[in-house]
Amino acid sequence: MQRLLAFLFSTLFFLSASSQQLPAMQAPLASKSLMLDIFKINDKQIVAVGERGHILLSDDAVTWHQANVPVRTTLTAVYFVDEKHGWAVGHDATILFSSDGGENWEIQQHLPEKEKPLLDIIFKDKNQGIAIGAYGQLYRTIDGGLTWNFEFHGEFLFPEDLEYLEDLKEHDKEAYLDEQGSILAHFNSIFKDGLILYMVGEVGLIAKSDDFAQIWQPQDKIYQGSFNDIARTQQGNLLVVGLRGNVFRRLESGSPWQQIPTGTNALLNSILLGDNGSIYVLGNNGVILKSDDDGMSFSLNIQADGKALISGIWFNNQLVIVSEVGIKVIPLMKLK
């Protein structure tokens, strides 16, 4: 679900840590504040997360109420494995857990000394999950989040970089740990495609894993800029989106990636698949791209306020989108 946004880093990365360790305040206008991810728990319940530890719940996408959250850390992604059990991640490598459908949350991990955000989280079942983020962070749990263990994935490095790290490890352990914490690209978004995981990130990173992220297989570079999201369409084809309006499509047959014209240079943040087969790509500057031909072409829609659109879901036959100015409901009739 959700990814490393240039918007996020430019506006939120240097928040004061002292305020983040306090419980989130109940804010009447929370649904109008910066929200960064949204998830459909079931057909009657949705959850959204954002700045200041805001976690909001709704059964109609119109009225929202705030959950009880133990931190004011900016939260970047949320994922539920069933109707009761969910996790949210955010700045300071924070991982939160709920066992009651999102009404109440507890801290499973909070590492303000790291000053690095986690950007996405996904679970295989109630026990096995991974959280990813900036500078190649990857944490794994096999016990439902009771413990989270950091993993360093050297398969993303060139052989000479691995040799450099090994030399540091032997001669300067402190320098080795510092370098290990910054040498990898940002991991922005992760997508579960049956038994396969796909991950996208900085400097054109696309990777896949068939063993739930034990080993990653980096794919050939098709673009040097960052990718923010990846998804498989209803017809089985892959889409990736990222910086400067870039959308690439690859057929299920495994043919080479094809760049798709979009008519915009805006940062593209996420992909939303509608139940009707339509595809929507959300971006900065109020951009919504729409495709009715499985991603072969897109029409450009721009919202009047020009605000960044971060992530969205299909709910009650409409688009429910989180943005830099809160939660928006966009009727399909307004999109061409």
123 alpha carbon, distance to own chain's centre: 13
Taking 70 as the threshold, does the pLDDT of residue 309 lie above it? yes
Which DSSP state fits 23?
P
Taking 50 as the threshold, does the pLDDT of residue 214 lie above it? yes
Taking 80 as the threshold, does the pLDDT of residue 20 lie above it? no
**Cβ neighbours, 10 Å, residue 112:** 16
What's the pLDDT score for residue 4? 41
Phi, psi for 37 (deg, rounded to 5): -155, 155
* Whole-prediction pTM: 0.93
Q: pLDDT, tens digit, for every residue of 54-78?
A: 999 999 999 999 999 999 999 999 9
Taking 60 as the threshold, does the pLDDT of residue 208 lie above it? yes
Tell me the residue length of the chain.
336
The model's confidence at residue 331, banded by pLDDT at 50, 70 and 90, is confident
Q: Which of 181, 79, 197, 91 is nearest to 137 (CA)?
A: 181
Asked if residues 107 and 96 have their Cβ atoms less than 8 Å apart, the reply is yes
Written as six digits, the tokens of 259 are 């760049």
The model's confidence at residue 175, banded by pLDDT at 50, 70 and 90, is confident
- Strands 138-141, 149-150: pairing is antiparallel
What's the pLDDT score for residue 186? 97
The model's confidence at residue 25, banded by pLDDT at 50, 70 and 90, is confident
What's the pLDDT score for residue 232? 97
Q: Which residues make Cβ contacts (< 8 Å) with residue 175, sequence separation at least 6?
A: 168
**Could you tell me the maximum CA-CA distance found in the chain, to the nearest angstrom?**
63
- Strands 35-42, 279-283: pairing is unpaired
CATH number of 6-151+185-330: 2.130.10.10
What's the pLDDT score for residue 236? 95
Q: Which residues make Cβ contacts (< 8 Å) with residue 202, sequence separation at least 6?
A: 4, 185, 186, 188, 226
Q: What is the mean pLDDT of the chain?
A: 92
User: Mean per-residue pLDDT for 303-327?
Assistant: 96
| Domain ranges, ordered by start, for the chain | 6-151+185-330
Q: What percent of the chain has pLDDT over 70?
A: 94
**Cβ neighbours, 10 Å, residue 59:** 16
Taking 50 as the threshold, does the pLDDT of residue 286 lie above it? yes
Q: Which residue has the higher pLDDT, 166 or 124?
A: 124
User: Mean per-residue pLDDT for 282-307?
Assistant: 97
> 3-state class of 139 per DSSP?
strand
Q: pLDDT, tens digit, for every residue of 89-132?
A: 999 999 999 999 999 999 999 999 989 999 999 999 999 999 99
Nearest-angstrom CA–CA distance, 9 and 18? 19
User: Mean per-residue pLDDT for 295-312?
Assistant: 97
Taking 80 as the threshold, does the pLDDT of residue 13 lie above it? no
What's the pLDDT score for residue 8? 53
